[in-house]
């Protein structure tokens, strides 16, 4: 569960969901994204959350939350039953990276993935000065971070290429949530992708 | 914790229209014994039905009154979750607990008099199924003036009744809270039930189920059945921690007397249970469990069977429950997701095995409480 109040990637994701579509949000936390998609976009939403506190908060928000561990894949979810499967700022916390991406595109027609870009210039600066980066999109100290994987926009796109995933759309945001068009791997703090097969 | 519902008194509802049963039998008339807690609101929209499990009954919460109306030590089996400020908040909800048909706590069952013979039904009591209980509970709802339950809730076999309610009376259940349950029994589960039944059926005091007339009760068989059942309601780690290999103070005989603490515990549980429960009821309840399989009419497709349900669902499972494992609850969850139905699922970390659903675990109770706070009246 992240405490980020207004997530810039939520605006983008909301704009990609059409009324009545089925959305599965992986690592849904308290369900705030789903709540927004349901209320603003008329989506039919389900969430998966591991932590007890997140599950409890999501139930309180009226969300269809299913407690489960993404590391075990999406067993039980049927093939191609969701229009969008969302993994918002969570991919970097998952050990089985390729498996979860494959699973997302098994159960969904589209995978929506956002993650902090480790090669954002401020992160590079932090490492240059000898410290691990702490920023808006990487808000943890090295000793308490849930993040397991540190990767960049270029790294992620290389993996997509290797796995044969098609990038349908990419949006890159800076720390303020504004769109970045030039030098995204340097100027972008958060990347948001729509992926297909 | 806040005080509970206080002193309670059971009531009896009589039904004189015949009830045709799934197994082919007919009950010409029947009684249901029940208790209620809280107040039914003017809109009659705040009623929650609590369904009991294998050995449960209508006395869900509070202390039973003695003949003078004074509280006895007899506390309801799910008192920790029912009462003012508790998850099943009696300041907000009207809670109904009912003893099922075939029971031995006051509802019509094998101990009751068969009007055709003037003697106790005994083994002639017709086979009852979960759906029969649901039909009988629906008649009670009619009598109480409850068109639709705000929620139907239960653990284990009680959860199966909640599930069945959503299929049989979809328009009469707004929420179903299905705890430590399963869409049907596994072969292993049926096997345990069979051994339990064999213990009773082969007891020399069983007399083909007509033991009342002989003035005896197959308590040895019933005791063994309960001891076996009890093992399956606990978890291995929990037993290891609670008993380990601890010996009784009087141990050391190198014989077959009670040497280990775990034996003492099981004997105590078996004796206690066999002292008040009816063997014929135990047979009926375990058989109802075995037969429960709502997906059967849909060729095993649970999603198809649940498709008619209009309720929102809360499904809860416990990590150490191996009798009705979390994976079985997930089958229910995924059938509902398949249908696009509303469901929340929590898997509670617990060391108490299948019995966890009766425990006063803060997170578990918070899940139920939070869900019920969402229920609109």
CB contact (8 A) between residue A81 and residue B338: yes
Bridge pairing between strands B26-27 and B30-37: unpaired
Distant-in-sequence, close-in-space partners of A1: CB < 8 Å, separation ≥ 6: A29, A30, A49, A51, A53, A54, A57
State the smallest CA–CA distance between residue A174 and chain B in angstroms.
35
Instruction: Give 3-state DSSP helix, strand, coil % of chain A, rounded to 5.
Output: 35, 20, 45
Residue B144: name the closest of B44, B224, B272 by CA. Answer: B44
CA distance B294 to A24: 27
Give CA–CA dist B71/B61, Å, rounded. 12
- Asked if A65 and B342 come within 8 Å (Cβ–Cβ), the reply is no
pLDDT > 90: percent of chain A: 91
Per-residue pLDDT of B173-188, as tens digits, reads 999 999 999 999 999 9
CA B164 to chain A, closest CA, distance in angstroms equals 21
Please give the pLDDT value at position B10.
96
Q: Cα(A74)–Cα(A72) distance, rounded to whole angstroms?
A: 7
E strand segments, A50-100: 65-67, 84-88
Contact B36, B6 (CB under 8 A): no
B153 and B53 in contact (C-beta within 8 Å)?
A: no
Query: What is the four-CA torsion angle of B150, B154, B157, B161, rounded to 10 degrees?
Result: 0
Give the span between the Cα atoms of A178 and A189, in whole angstroms.
10
CA distance A85 to chain B (A): 14
Q: How confident is the model at residue B2 (pLDDT cuts 50, 70, 90)?
A: low
As given in the structure block, the two tokens for residue A185 are: 């791997």
User: How many angstroms separate the CA of residue A75 from the nearest CA in chain B?
Assistant: 9
Q: Closest partner residue to B371 among A22, A59, A76, by Cβ?
A: A59
* Eight-state DSSP code of residue B109: S
How far out from the chain centre does Cα A96 lie?
A: 15
DSSP code of residue B313:
E
Please answer whether residues B312 and B195 qualify as being in contact, where contact means their C-beta atoms are separated by less than 8 angstroms: no
Separation in Å, CA B373 to CA B92, B142, B366, B376 = 9, 25, 10, 8
Query: Could you tell me the pLDDT band of residue A4, with boundaries at 50, 70 and 90?
Result: very low
Q: Are A14 and A36 in contact, with CB atoms under 8 Å apart? A: yes
At B23-82, the pLDDT tens digits run 999 999 999 999 999 999 999 999 999 999 999 999 999 999 998 989 999 999 999 999
Exposed (0-12), middle (13-18) or buried (19+): which is A159, by Cβ within 10 Å? middle
The pLDDT tens digits for B112-129 are 999 999 999 999 999 999
Question: What is the end-to-end Cα distance of chain B in Å, rounded?
Answer: 25
pTM of the model: 0.96
Test A59 with B344 for CB contact under 8 angstroms.
yes
| B contacts of A76 (beta carbons < 8 Å) | 330-331, 333-334, 337
What pLDDT score does A6 carry? Answer: 59
Confidence of residue A2 (pLDDT cuts 50, 70, 90): very low
Nearest to A146 by CA among A31, A24, A1: A1
- pLDDT tens-digit profile of B219-228? 999 999 999 9
3-state SS, residue B253: coil
The mean of the pLDDT values for chain B is 96
Residues of chain A contacting residue B374, judged by C-beta atoms under 8 Å apart: 59-60, 62
Instruction: Give the Å distances, CA to CA, from A39 to A34, A44, B233, B242.
Output: 8, 10, 42, 49
Chain A residues with beta carbon closer than 8 angstroms to that of B344: 55, 58-59, 63-66
CB-nearest partner of A44 from B340, B346, B367: B340
Q: Are B55 and B285 in contact (CB under 8 A)?
A: yes
Task: Return the pLDDT at A67.
Answer: 98
CB contact under 8 A, A81 and B367: no
Hey, which residues of B are catalytic here? 156, 321, 354
Which of B364, B277, B377, B253 lies closest to B319 in space, CA to CA? Answer: B364
How far apart (Å, rounded) are the C-alpha atoms in residues B66 and A48?
49
B187-201 and B279-291 are packed helices; what angle lies between their axes, rounded to 10 degrees?
160
Contacts of A77 in chain B (CB under 8 A): 334, 337
Contact B373 A60 (CB under 8 A): yes
Q: Between chains, do B334 and A77 touch, taking CB under 8 Å as contact?
A: yes
CA distances from B74 to A7, A51, B3 (A): 54, 38, 15
């Amino acid at each position: 569960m992240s405490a980020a109040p207004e997530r810039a990637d939520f605006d983008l994701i909301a704009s990609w969901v059409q009324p009545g579509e089925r959305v599965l949000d992986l690592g849904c936390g308290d369900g705030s994204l789903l709540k927004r998609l349901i209320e603003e976009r008329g989506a039919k939403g389900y969430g998966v959350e591991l932590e007890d506190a997140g599950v409890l908060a999501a139930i309180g928000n009226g969300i269809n939350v299913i407690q489960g561990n993404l590391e075990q894949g999406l067993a039980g979810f049927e093939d191609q039953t969701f229009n969008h499967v969302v993994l918002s700022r969570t991919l970097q916390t998952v050990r089985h990276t390729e498996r979860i991406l494959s699973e997302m595109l098994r159960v969904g027609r589209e995978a929506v993935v956002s993650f902090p870009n480790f090669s954002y210039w401020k992160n590079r600066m932090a490492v240059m000065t000898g410290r691990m980066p702490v920023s808006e999109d990487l808000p943890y100290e090295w000793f308490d971070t849930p993040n397991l994987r540190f990767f960049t926009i270029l790294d992620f796109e290389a993996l997509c290429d290797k796995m044969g995933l098609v990038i349908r759309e990419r949006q890159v945001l800076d720390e303020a949530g504004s769109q970045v068009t030039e030098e995204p791997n340097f100027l972008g703090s958060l990347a948001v992708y729509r992926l297909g097969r | 914790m806040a005080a509970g519902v206080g002193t309670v008194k059971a009531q009896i509802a009589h039904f004189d229209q015949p009830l045709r049963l799934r197994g082919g039998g007919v009950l010409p008339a029947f009684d249901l014994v029940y208790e209620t807690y809280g107040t039914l609101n003017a809109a009659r929209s705040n009623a929650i039905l609590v369904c009991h499990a294998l050995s449960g009954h209508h006395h869900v919460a509070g202390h039973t009154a003695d003949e003078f109306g004074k509280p006895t030590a007899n506390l309801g089996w799910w008192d920790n979750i029912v009462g003012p400020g508790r998850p099943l908040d009696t300041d907000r909800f009207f809670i109904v607990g009912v003893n099922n048909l075939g029971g031995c706590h006051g509802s019509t069952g094998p101990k009751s008099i068969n009007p055709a013979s003037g003697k106790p039904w005994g083994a002639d009591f017709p086979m009852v199924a979960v759906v029969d209980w649901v039909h009988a509970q629906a008649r009670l709802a009619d009598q109480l003036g409850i068109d639709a339950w705000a929620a139907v809730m239960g653990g284990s076999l009680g959860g199966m009744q909640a599930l069945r309610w959503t299929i049989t009376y979809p328009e009469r259940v707004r929420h179903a809270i299905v705890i430590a349950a399963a869409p049907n029994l596994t072969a292993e589960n049926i096997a345990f039930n069979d051994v339990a039944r064999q213990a009773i059926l082969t007891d020399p005091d069983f007399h083909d189920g007509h033991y009342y007339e002989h003035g005896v009760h197959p308590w040895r068989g019933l005791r063994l059945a309960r001891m076996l059942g009890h093992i399956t309601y606990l978890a291995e780690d929990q037993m290891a921690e609670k008993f380990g290999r601890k010996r009784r103070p009087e141990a050391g005989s190198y014989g077959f007397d009670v040497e280990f603490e775990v034996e003492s515990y099981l004997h105590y549980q078996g004796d206690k249970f066999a002292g008040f429960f009816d063997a014929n009821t135990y047979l009926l309840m375990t058989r109802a469990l075995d037969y429960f399989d709502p997906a059967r009419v849909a060729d095993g497709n649970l999603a198809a069977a649940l498709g008619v349900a209009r309720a929102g669902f809360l499904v809860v499972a416990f990590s150490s429950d191996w009798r009705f494992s979390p994976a079985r609850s997930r089958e229910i969850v995924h059938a509902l997701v398949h249908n696009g139905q509303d469901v929340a699922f929590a898997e509670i970390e617990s060391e108490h095995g299948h019995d966890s659903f009766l425990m006063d675990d803060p997170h578990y109770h918070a899940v139920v409480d939070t869900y019920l706070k969402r229920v609109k009246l």
